[in-house]
């Protein structure tokens, strides 16, 4: 039975990996600046981790950047994902832009679809344009760029002075609408603090839809604060409980997997980690859509269900494989020679569960571990 399952899983993964052996371009640099020059063209997805990053060329794929300082002033024919301290974006991005940073400045940028930003300060100038919706949670927001669809903001101060093709929803301590503000849809707002009762839409702003003030149902701030404390305390307790149960469950599965597959620790070569990442990410992204396509043919429905079930098992096991590899690598680096494969697996899993609980970065870390683990599965099955 184990041989049958392994063969079926290998056949599934080979459909998506070995037919099209595409690898994303990955660049890392601990110090200094990584620069993609204006004359450079990359026909692939691009992953960059560095102290500082400049993307000035053309990327025919998605771009993922993590750095202290980021400058994007090229052409990206895909999505842009950025995390950094100080971020400057211009140029042309064909699809969506996702940003998490301290200070974010968007000048002269053409964004084909939506913009999602979480930051301390955010400024978008009038020379920029946003084809889709604009969603932000920031300390202060200044937007002068025209927006194709909707504008949603939660902030301390929101300064809006542009055309919005859809509706607007703002919750802030203060809202400023400039003379060039025109909203084609409805306008919803909620203001906290002293301006709550007196604020109204300025005469210069044009709202074609209805104007709706959203009032909080809680007038007693002490009561609100108490409810926040109780809610977050309860949420943390539930979250921590599930985290411990999940960790113990993963350790149990890991013990059984190592017992059944005693050579599992040898499937992972840390020198090939980026190859694992590229292959695993492709499998992770393509499996479900292609299985659904097979399902919709009718006669392939049973096969698609088997594929999805095996894929679910592979995704769960991928994190265990990556955690085992991480624990083994760290043991080797620190000279912990007495730690056996089981101890390494537990150590790696504990570290993984801690890292994935980190706000914002946790989701990316989980994606990284899953992709690398899936890639290791594929490499092991291939050989």
Note the pLDDT tens digit of each residue in 302-314.
Answer: 777 887 888 888 8
Beta-carbon contacts of 305 under 8 Å, excluding residues fewer than 6 positions away, are: 295
Q: Where are the beta strands (DSSP E) in the chain?
A: 25-36, 41-42, 46-55, 58-59, 63-72, 75-76, 80-93, 97-111, 115-124, 129-130, 134-143, 146-147, 151-160, 163-164, 168-177, 182-183, 187-191, 206-207, 211-213
In the chain, pLDDT over 70 holds for what percent of residues? 74
241 — pLDDT class (breaks 50, 70, 90): low
pTM confidence score: 0.55
The secondary structure of 285-337 as a DSSP string is: HHHHHHHHHHHHTSTTHHHHHHHHHHHHHHHHHHHHHHHHHHHHHHHHHHT-T
Q: What is the mean pLDDT of the chain?
A: 78
Q: Tokens 């063209």 map to which residue? A: 41
| Residue 224 Rama label (left phi>0; alpha psi -120 to 50; beta) | alpha
Beta-carbon contacts of 343 under 8 Å, excluding residues fewer than 6 positions away, are: 327, 331
Note the pLDDT tens digit of each residue in 329-358.
Answer: 777 777 776 667 777 778 778 888 777 777
80 versus 354: which is more confidently predicted? Answer: 80
| 135 CB neighbour count, 10 Å cutoff | 17
Beta-carbon contacts of 131 under 8 Å, excluding residues fewer than 6 positions away, are: 111, 112, 113, 114, 148
Note the pLDDT tens digit of each residue in 109-124.
Answer: 999 999 988 888 999 9
Beta-carbon contacts of 373 under 8 Å, excluding residues fewer than 6 positions away, are: 276, 280, 317, 318, 319, 320, 321, 322
Helix axes 341-356, 301-334, angle to 10 degrees: 110
| 337 CB neighbour count, 10 Å cutoff | 8
User: Side-chain half-sphere of 243: how many Cα atoms within 13 Å?
Assistant: 16
For residue 170, pLDDT over 80 is answered with yes
Domain ranges of the chain: 37-216, 224-382
Do 112 and 129 form a contact (C-beta atoms < 8 A)?
A: no
d(CA 368, CA 186): 40
């Amino acid at each position: 039975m184990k041989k049958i399952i392994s063969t079926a899983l290998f056949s599934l993964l080979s459909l998506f990996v070995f037919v099209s052996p595409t690898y994303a371009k990955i660049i890392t640099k601990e110090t200094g600046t990584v620069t993609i020059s204006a004359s450079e063209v990359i026909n692939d997805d691009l992953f960059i981790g560095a102290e500082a990053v400049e993307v000035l060329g053309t990327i025919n794929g998605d771009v993922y950047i993590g750095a202290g300082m980021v400058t994007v002033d090229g052409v990206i024919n895909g999505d842009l994902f950025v995390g950094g301290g100080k971020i400057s974006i211009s140029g042309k991005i064909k699809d969506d832009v996702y940003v998490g940073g301290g200070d974010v400045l968007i000048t002269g940028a053409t964004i084909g679809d939506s913009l999602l930003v979480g930051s301390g300060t955010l400024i978008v100038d009038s020379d920029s344009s946003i084809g889709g919706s604009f969603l932000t949670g920031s300390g202060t927001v200044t937007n002068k760029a025209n927006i194709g669809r909707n504008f949603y903001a939660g902030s301390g101060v929101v300064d809006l002075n542009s055309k919005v093709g859809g509706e607007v929803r703002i919750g802030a301590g203060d809202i400023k609408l400039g003379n060039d503000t025109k909203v084609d849809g409805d306008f919803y707002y909620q203001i906290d603090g002293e301006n709550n009762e007196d604020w109204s839409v300025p005469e210069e702003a044009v709202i074609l839809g209805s104007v709706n003030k959203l009032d909080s149902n809680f007038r007693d701030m002490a009561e609100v604060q108490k409810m926040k404390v109780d809610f977050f305390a309860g949420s943390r307790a539930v979250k921590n409980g599930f985290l411990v149960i999940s960790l113990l469950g993963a350790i149990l599965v890991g013990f059984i997997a190592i017992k059944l597959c005693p050579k599992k620790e040898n499937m992972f070569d840390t020198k090939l980690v980026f190859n694992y990442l590229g292959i695993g990410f492709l499998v992770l992204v393509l499996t479900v859509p292609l299985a659904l396509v097979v399902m919709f043919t009718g006669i392939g429905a049973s096969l698609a269900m088997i594929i999805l079930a095996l894929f679910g098992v592979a995704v769960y096991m991928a994190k265990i494989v990556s955690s085992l590899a991480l624990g083994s690598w760290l043991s080797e680096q620190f000279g912990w020679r007495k730690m056996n494969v089981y101890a390494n697996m537990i150590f790696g899993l504990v570290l993984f569960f801690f890292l994935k609980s980190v706000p914002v970065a946790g989701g990316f870390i989980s994606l990284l571990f899953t992709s690398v683990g899936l890639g290791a599965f594929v490499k092991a099955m291939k050989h």
